[in-house]
Amino acid sequence: MMSRGRAVIRGCLSKSRYSDEPLARAHAMHMLGSGVVASEKAWVYRCAECAGWHITTRAGGNHLSASVRADNAWVPSEFAQ
Ligand SMILES: [Zn+2]
């Protein structure tokens, strides 16, 4: 149980992990609305390493997916798909 992807898992543990997408989006909304993060929007993504969901405020490769705003947990992408 100890041998699998320790370095990557440690990276995951430094981030908040959510068990599903609605939960991650709800928490992202709270973070944006409370000013915990200095950003107007965030994204959630499924993590291939821990199978959980993480929140990011950097678009990166997630900018094609729906973003989260303080007043809306599911804002369709503004970028062409
Ligand atoms: Zn992860």
Query: pLDDT of 30-51, one tens digit each?
Result: 999 998 888 999 999 999 989 9
The CA distance from 66 to 44, in Å, is: 8
Q: Is pLDDT at 25 greater than 70 in this prediction? A: yes
- For residue 1, pLDDT over 60 is answered with no
CA distances from residue 62 to 3, 5, 56 in whole angstroms, order as listed? 29, 23, 9
Residue 63 CA, ligand 1 centroid: distance in Å: 18
Cα(11) to ligand 1 centroid in Å equals 7
| Domain span holding position 63 | 20-75
- Say how many domains are in the chain: 1
Query: In this structure, is residue 6 part of a structural domain?
Result: no
The residue with tokens 């997916």 is 65
Phi, psi of 20 (to 5 degrees): -150, 170
Query: pTM for the whole thing?
Result: 0.77
Ligand 1 geometric centre to CA of 30 (Å): 20
Instruction: With respect to residue 38, please indicate whether it lies within any of the assigned structural domains.
Output: yes
Residue 41 covered by a domain: yes
